[in-house]
Amino acid sequence: MRKLYYTWTNSENLHTALFEEGTQPINSQLVTEPYLQKPILVDGVVVEGITPEEIQLNAILQAKENETMLYKKRQIDGVNAYAEISAEFRLAKLSGILSEEQHGAIESVLIPVRNEVLAGQWISALNILESIGTSIGSELYDRLHSQITNYISENY
């Protein structure tokens, strides 16, 4: 399996390259997680690695990247979840289970919940849904409450 290494010579700056384990040059250092530690060269000699400040900055940047990815996942999940419920509402309207007025009223009341789910803010969506209560009907409320609660318990 190939791994990424920093490599250097006496006359060159740092470079990265992939090598099979055991075949990397002598002047090399494995690029490892969680911090991509770079050697610091003085006249081609490694004098130190990453500083404590760089470690702290890298940790902050990695935490931000991780949280950003979680938000993006929650947003995508929100789009998918709301698409399903919207399709269900539309089919209920088309089949006569819901009238045009009922459909519009439910959609209107759920706009703040929808906006939070689409933004990946599932906990806020749950709080808003709970403040709306069963004005959308107890069966629909219970189902949405359960769906959002389950999502939160599985993804937060």
pLDDT per residue over 39-61, tens digit each? 666 555 555 566 667 667 877 88
Judge whether residue 87 has pLDDT over 80.
yes
Q: Give the CA-trace dihedral at 139, 141, 143, 148, to 10 degrees.
A: 180
Q: CA distances (Å), 133 to each of 96, 127, 140, 150, in order?
A: 24, 10, 10, 18
Segment 111-140 shows an average pLDDT of 96
The tally of CA atoms less than 13 A away on the side-chain side of residue 53 is: 0
For the chain, what are the domain ranges?
2-50, 54-155
